[in-house]
Amino acid sequence: MTYYNNRIYTITEVMFNMNPTHKFKLADGKETTYAQYLLDNYKIKLEYPKDQPMIRCHIKRTGQDVYLVPECCLVTGITEQ
């Protein structure tokens, strides 16, 4: 779950080849980094922008992948098994 929008995601893969300084395109075509996006939209300044891998989550409903910053995630739903 991300604490900035309270959405729950299922992890598909940990992307060790990516970090929050990697760039992606916004819906309007502009490029930004994940760290800058969080700062601009949620006022979250990452403490470790280069030292953490990204988390990939596949959204079945839309067929798209979402990339999350671990620093902004909370673990939920872990069972004893």
Q: Where are the alpha helices (DSSP H) in the chain?
A: 34-42
In a domain, 27, yes or no: yes
In a domain, 4, yes or no: no
- Region 2-11: mean pLDDT is 89
In a domain, 48, yes or no: yes
CATH number of residue 18's parent domain: 2.170.260.10
Number of domains in the chain: 1
In a domain, 5, yes or no: no
In a domain, 68, yes or no: yes
Output the pLDDT for position 3. 86
Nearest CA-CA partner of 50 in 4, 2, 18, 13? 18
In a domain, 44, yes or no: yes
Output the pLDDT for position 81. 61
Distance CA 7, CA 30 (A): 25
In a domain, 2, yes or no: no
Tens-place pLDDT, residues 17-75: 999 999 999 999 999 999 999 999 999 999 988 999 999 999 999 999 999 999 999 98
Domain range for residue 48?
Answer: 13-72
Tens-place pLDDT, residues 33-47: 999 999 999 999 999
Two tokens, residue 64:
């798209």
